[in-house]
Chain A
Amino acid sequence: MSNYDNAELLALWLEEKLTASQRDSFEQRCVEDSQFAQQVEAASMFKMQAQEYQSTDVPNWNKEKIFDYGVTSSVWSWLPGVSFVTSVLAIVLVLTGTQVNITDGELRIRFGAQQSEQVVVKMLDSRLEEFRQTQQAALSLYAQTLQQQQLDSASQLTNYLLTSSRQERREDFAELIKFVNQQRSDDQLFYARQLNQLQQDIYRDADGVAVESVQQ
């Protein structure tokens, strides 16, 4: 069995392009494969019928309409041309630097971009200067604001430090006074006890002398 498939062989046969080996395969396939043989027969019959097909005349139809339709649609065919020309004109006007001025009913057309270039340079310079000034003002304002903010922060910090140290000192003094008072209270108590002791000693000594004198 050859490698050609049925559709390929039939197609080659229909186009009469079978090589010798393909023809052998084709004929062998026709003998061995009845279904393929029937396909070939059907193709042959259909080909014959197609050849015998009688082409009748075309019924009347409006052929002129197509050309007229085309002509009508070509009424606008000038549009791309005009569009192209106007585009070219616009480019030329831009490249040559053409300027049209109407002042007091007077129309002036000026070619060449030199004049306008100077105007543009001048305008650009003034804009740049304006921009520089604006930027400088903004920068100085920013610096001023920043400085003020720093001063405020420093002042706040100083106040805080002073207040907090004052408080601490006050608390320290209170502690000291309390301690001194405590010491004084202790001293007073100590002296009182000393005096009591002394008083008792004196009274005892006095009683002893009295007794001795009595005994004597």
Chain B
Amino acid sequence: MFEKSDEQLIKKAQKGHKKSWMSLLKRYEKPIYHYGLRMTGNNEDALDLLQEVFISVFRNLSSYRGEGSFKGWLFRIAHYRCIEFYRRKRPTQGLDDAPEIPSDAAPAEQHIEHTQRNAQLISAMQQLPLAQKSVVELKFFGHFTFEEIAQQTGMSVNTAKSRLYGALVKLKTLMEVDYVEL
């Protein structure tokens, strides 16, 4: 079936075409929701973040000039919303600080029936500082290149690479992977 491109939908949505906006939203709500889920580790927070991201996207849609992919632009907004979300929730915690284990927030796996691996993965990611978690998320789940990650997060390409490397050191321990000698 013929599917309209992002650019076509954006142009119509910019003119106030509700149906196009809803199509665009439905196309990206799942990736953004799961982005929020993996970044916050909490279903309620993920839904709040999802709403904040799309409100921000709708507000700024008129300023979108089509430079770069819409997906990249969307995830850049999501990244900054996520940072704001963290700052609001834990104002004293830095981007590179190891997170405290949230006691009041129920983990996502209690609300949604994830597979064991999903739960393990989300749980492991919550142990990472936000700066490392962002790079892991955008690299492995967003499938962005390091250049794109650097653009979206405002860090250098080398920093993005070293943060991913540092994150893997922690994830290796957290996920209790049985390593095999090459």
Tell me the A residues contacting B by CB distance below 8 Å. Answer: 6-8, 10-11, 14-15, 30-31, 34, 37-43, 45-47, 49-50, 52-59, 61-63, 65-67, 69-71, 73-74
Contact = CB atoms under 8 A, between A and B. Distances in A.
**6 tightest Cβ-Cβ pairs between the two chains A and B:** A42-B172, A7-B165, A50-B140, A11-B161, A58-B33, A7-B161
Contacts of A14: 139, 164
B83 interface: no
A207 B12 CA distance: 170
A83 to B, nearest CB: 17
Contacts of A43: 168
B70 to A, nearest CB: 16
Contacts of B58: 66-67, 69-70
Given A6-B165, A63-B29, A42 B139 contact: no
A66 B51 contact: yes
A45 B180 CA distance: 11
B168 A39 contact: yes
Contact of A66 (B25, B168, B179): B25
A41 B22 contact: no
Q: What's the dominant secondary structure at chain A's contact region?
A: helix
A66 B56 CA distance: 9
Interface string B29-73: 111011000000001000100110011001100000000000000
A42 B50 CA distance: 30
Given A11-B161, A66-B25, A67-B18, A54 B115 contact: yes
B175 interface: yes
A52 B146 CA distance: 22
A8 B164 CA distance: 10
Nearest to A64: B22
B151 interface: no
Nearest to A34: B181
A42 B112 CA distance: 26
B177 A42 contact: yes
B59 A56 contact: no
B16 interface: yes
Interface string B85-122: 00000000000000000000000000011110110110
Given A66-B55, A69-B58, 11 more contacts: A6-B165, A7-B158, A7-B162, A11-B146, A15-B146, A37-B181, A56-B114, A58-B29, A61-B50, A63-B25, A66-B58
